[in-house]
Amino acid sequence: MSINRIGVYPGTFDPLTLGHLDIIRRGAHLVDRLVVGVTTNPSKEPMFSVAERLVMVRRELAEIPGDIAVVEFDSLLMDFATRESASMIIRGLRAVADFEYEYQMAGMNQQLNDDIETVFLMADVSLQPIASRLVKEIARYGGKIDKFVPPAVVADVAAKLGK
């Protein structure tokens, strides 16, 4: 009897960055199935709707090998992970500030369901400064974002900003 390891990688992906893609590629090697959960975050003002982000993420993941699903969710992460039969949550870390927040979240999530582990992956050194929030800010002020997001996402952002 084989046991399938299912991991969930949640995020807003607004927009999807090269850092997200790095974590997805690496996370997909750790599990038999990776579920990329696209969600909303009430504390963030999204540039793209959830439907637009689902299309964006699916398009960019089409060439990444492995069993990867892209799913919308609007619930507690641990409820989503349970629904997907996940045994782990995959989270990317860029800096110490990320670790402090993620450590607190992992502790709370463990209190909700201690059968699901949180696994932290360090972002590639060259990708550590990338944050969706900063990508949007750079784009809004006319800066180039092609070093931070895939080419099709550059076009998505430009279209959204009417540029």
The catalytic residue among 44, 133, 140, 147 is 44
The catalytic residue among 25, 58, 83, 94 is 94
- Tell me whether residue 44 is one of the annotated catalytic residues: yes
Say how far apart CA 18 and CA 69 lie, in whole Å: 18
- Tell me whether residue 147 is one of the annotated catalytic residues: no
Q: Token digits for 51? A: 């439907």
- Tell me whether residue 94 is one of the annotated catalytic residues: yes
Query: How are the residues of the chain apportioned to helix, strand and coil, as percentages rounded to the nearest 5?
Result: 45, 20, 40
The catalytic residue among 20, 53, 91, 136 is 20
- Tell me whether residue 20 is one of the annotated catalytic residues: yes
Say how far apart CA 33 and CA 24 lie, in whole Å: 11
The catalytic residue among 53, 91, 132, 136 is 132
Alpha helices in the chain (DSSP H): 18-28, 50-61, 77-83, 96-112, 132-140, 151-161
Strand partners, 35: 8, 69
Active site residues: 20, 44, 94, 132
